[in-house]
Amino acid sequence: METFEVGEQNRLSFRIKVDWPVTLETARGSVEGKTRDISAGGAHIRCTQYLQLNEPVFMTIKAPDIEPMKVTAIVIWSDSKDESNRPRVIGVRFTEISLADLKYLEKVALEEFKAKLPRS
């Protein structure tokens, strides 16, 4: 699988709203969640546990019509840590993603963008 550092890309990434299951592997174990939105550079995720800022995660994203995506990421923001049982919300920035997965995300984003354009 060909992967590359996300920082190497210089293209515009469209963010799309999706509800895909995701498993985040952390040093403390697995955390289940769902994407709220995603782009070629990162994702907004609702999950079952609090994750710390700058925490590295290995993600498995289950998008439709393709094999699960395997992505390395870092937590760049997280909602406050409190004692409630409410779902947590985090933002992650991808640090490594396969070229095939990147192309899939860009294709889905482009299709959604085109669908929102006014018909002429």
The CATH number of the domain covering residues in 13-116? 2.40.10.220
| Token pair belonging to 63 | 């998008």
SS3 67: coil
Identity of the residue numbered 116: K
**Do residues 38 and 18 make contact, with C-beta atoms less than 8 angstroms apart?**
yes
SS3 57: strand
- Rounded to the nearest angstrom, the gap between the alpha carbon of residue 50 and the centroid of all alpha carbons in its chain is 16
- Reply yes or no on whether the pLDDT at 5 is more than 90: no
Identity of the residue numbered 103: K
- Span 42-101, pLDDT tens digits: 999 999 888 989 999 999 999 998 999 999 999 999 886 666 667 789 999 999 999 999
